[in-house]
Amino acid sequence: MSAIDSLFDPFSLKSLQMDNRVVMAPMTRNHSPDNVPTDATVEYYRRRAAGGVGLILTEGTCPNHIAASGYEHVPYFHGEERLAGWKKVVDAVHAAGGKIAPQIWHCGGMRKRGVMPEGDVDGYAPSGMNVPGKVNRHIMTQQDIDDVVRAFAEAARDAQRLGFDAVELHGAHGYLIDQFFWEGTNQRTDGYGGSMSARARFAVEVIEACRSEVGADFPIILRWSQWKQQDFAARLAPTPQLLEAFLQPLIDAGVDAFHCSQRRFWEPEFDGSDLNLAGWVKKLTGMPTITVGSVSLDQDFVAQPAEGDGAASQPASIDRLLEMLDRGDFDLVAVGRALIANADWPKVVRSGDTLSLKPFSKALLATLD
């Protein structure tokens, strides 16, 4: 089997049966007026399913908590009209032969007071910090924690009820779950702060609550990252030993796969090995992993100012990616901006006509195409 064949080999994760290893990465689009998925949303995801994506992870969608959202015009995952909109998305993706999972997303301290429709509601954070050392958000009480855990569980329940094929919990990039993980923003002195295992307690409770709603066979994916929007150099686990200690409680709680977010998939995670983050997670745990990070493009979108902002990224070779996949470093490959520019990216790549791939331009974000 050739390396390209590995990308199009079927994959199973509990009840989820995928035709290939290509995942559409979750990407915020801000095209949901009144926080409702529209007909344009339906067509946007349908086109990617028809283009050959094995599993679509939706843009972040907010559970039923007053402070979950941090940005205008993002879709919500509660309320009759909003869930009806998501049902249309699910049905369209399935009709096109695809599989789909919602990403459930609480923005935590990334929310700023004034963002509509919640208006004057503050961001909620474990220690009231959006960035280390600066208390400028609401400090979560035990009741707040319980409310958010329940909101995630209800969202997982509704995802299964609507016919989604799995659910992804957003635990990366400095949002709420990650703010509990990160010592820089978690300075709590109760059972949710202090040691690495204590800082994972909130995520464990979220995962366990979701699992109790969906049963044993419905896949739960956790997206996580070392880096944060607030600090690109942040690392939750700076050694393989600490990484293993970080992951095990999450596995015990019920995670079925880890979506390991890097800004550049080809970068090694630890000295002395060329394994990336997803490679190390799989090596240490044996769990299925998804790699992600500038796949098929030559620039990172969230780059430091000196590196540019990825506003115009040209197609890039995936030979290194295929080599890593073929040797078993990870199981699935999440493609982001290249799928915004090329809805049929999987079919084009499989055909070998990669010269016809279109570059990504930031201007493409202005519409939902």
Given 44, 76, 124, 175, the catalytic residue = 175
44 is a catalytic site residue: no
User: Following DSSP, what letter does each residue of 86-142 receive, concatenated?
Assistant: HHHHHHHHHHTT--EEEEE---GGG--TT-TTTTTPPPEETTSEEETTEE-SEEPPH
**Amino acid identity for residue 308 in this structure:** G
Q: Are 67 and 109 in contact (CB under 8 A)?
A: no
Using only the alpha carbons of the chain, give its radius of gyration: 19
**For the chain, first and last CA: distance in Å?**
35
Give the number of other CB atoms < 10 A from CB of residue 217. 9
The set of residues, in sequence order, having a beta carbon less than 8 Å from that of 238 and lying 6+ positions away, is none
In 3D space, the residue among 108, 252, 256 whose CA is nearest the CA of residue 175 turns out to be 108
Give the number of other CB atoms < 10 A from CB of residue 135. 13
Cis bond leading into 117, ω under 30°? yes
Give the number of other CB atoms < 10 A from CB of residue 96. 17
> In angstroms, rounded to a whole number, what is the distance separating the alpha carbons of residues 227 and 368?
28
Angle at which helix 277-285 crosses helix 240-253, to 10 degrees, equals: 70
Read off the tokens for 19: 């035709």
> In angstroms, rounded to a whole number, what is the distance separating the alpha carbons of residues 275 and 357?
28
**Tokens 């969608």 appear where?**
61
**HSE value, Cβ hemisphere, 13 Å, CA-based, for 104:** 31
Q: Annotated active-site positions, please?
A: 175
